[in-house]
Structure 1
């Protein structure tokens, strides 16, 4: 911001020490720091307000554009719409009529006879398959022998 180097700061510090004195110098520097803080806060607040105003201006433009889209069509689209309407509403140019020549009347073509409706083709169905023989009965489980069966009170 300011083009002040360390050598200039040393000169200002030495002058302040002589003019203000060593006893009041810390209080003076503290007060200068408070003023700098206040100035910085004011600058930041001002910058924030400017940025907010810019955002609101951009939002206003967007709102107008959205309103145009909602109410109908935007300006470029309206221009194209009017051009398209002009093209559609104008009648097309017809070719000039062909010159008439004297010719013998042509013979009428014979009327066409309606075509006979064909009978639907028969659909072949597969022949029924012979029934399969009945399934074989499953083997019956053999009963357990008495020797292998456990007795209710026996220990194993």
Structure 2
């Protein structure tokens, strides 16, 4: 703190001995020591408070930087997800449109109501039903042998 050499301290001690006197000098020295100790503790507390405030400010700055980085990552992820959704949606929409056009082309009567899709007992769409061919013609009985004259 102060640049005080040993010779300066001796000079102050001699002057204090002359002014204060030998009876009261120890009591005054103790009081001055306590006051200097309190002053040192106060200065150290102020220094630590200032250091804590600086650390809090740095932590706050780091927190803001992290929040900004998190927002940036979130926005980039959101845009990536949107791009991916568009990449998936556009082809599926094109396929759906193509299927709709194919259905319209296969409709026999454009004004007729569409037939309800057939389902099996479980509710799943039934396979396209193909009419069964007519059973094989009944076996013809063989002509009865006729009696012929030989």
TM-score, reference length from structure 2:
0.47
TM-score, reference length from structure 1:
0.45
